[in-house]
């Protein structure tokens, strides 16, 4: 089925480890974003991309890197995991002309850093 696929669904990391959260969409959407969701904080934008080769920082980018080498994929890299990065991470995508469309979200990755 078409949509946004995130892997893994669950992950436990030790402090200082690095890892990549994968996000792929098969809808040919130009816009892709990464959010983190923490209790009482809503969703906060980490990084976003308006197309292949173009990325920019959101509200809470520190400790995370992204790249967008293809339209389909938008991986999020944690450079050196910290307990403060324990969260649920959501990837989302949208067509450029989003006048009548919202974002399509993946099902999330629940990350625990110990």
User: Which residues contribute to the site for another protein (CB under 8 A)?
Assistant: 4, 31, 33, 35, 40-45, 48-50, 58-59, 90, 92, 94, 96, 98-108
In the bound state with another protein, the residue whose beta carbon lies nearer, of 17 and 75, is 75
Q: Which residues pair with 11 in a beta bridge?
A: 111
Contact between 83 and 34 (Cβ < 8 Å) = no
Cα diameter, the chain: 42
* Smallest separation (angstroms) from another protein to the CB of 80: 26
In the bound state with another protein, the residue whose beta carbon lies nearer, of 47 and 78, is 47
Parallel, antiparallel, or unpaired for β 10-13 and 109-113? parallel
Buried b (16+ CB within 10 A) or exposed e, 93-104: bbeeeeeeeebb
In the bound state with another protein, the residue whose beta carbon lies nearer, of 30 and 73, is 30
């Amino acid at each position: 089925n078409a949509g946004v696929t995130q892997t893994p669904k669950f992950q436990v990391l030790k402090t200082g480890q690095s890892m990549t959260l994968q996000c792929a969409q098969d809808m040919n959407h130009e816009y892709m974003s990464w959010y983190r969701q923490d209790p009482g904080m809503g969703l906060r934008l980490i990084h976003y991309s308006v197309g292949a080769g173009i990325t920019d920082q959101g509200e809470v980018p520190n400790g995370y890197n992204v790249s967008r080498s293809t339209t389909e994929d938008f991986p999020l890299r944690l450079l050196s995991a910290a307990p403060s990065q324990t969260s649920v991470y959501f990837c989302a995508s949208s067509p450029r002309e989003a006048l009548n469309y919202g974002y399509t979200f993946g099902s999330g990755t629940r990350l625990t850093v110990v």
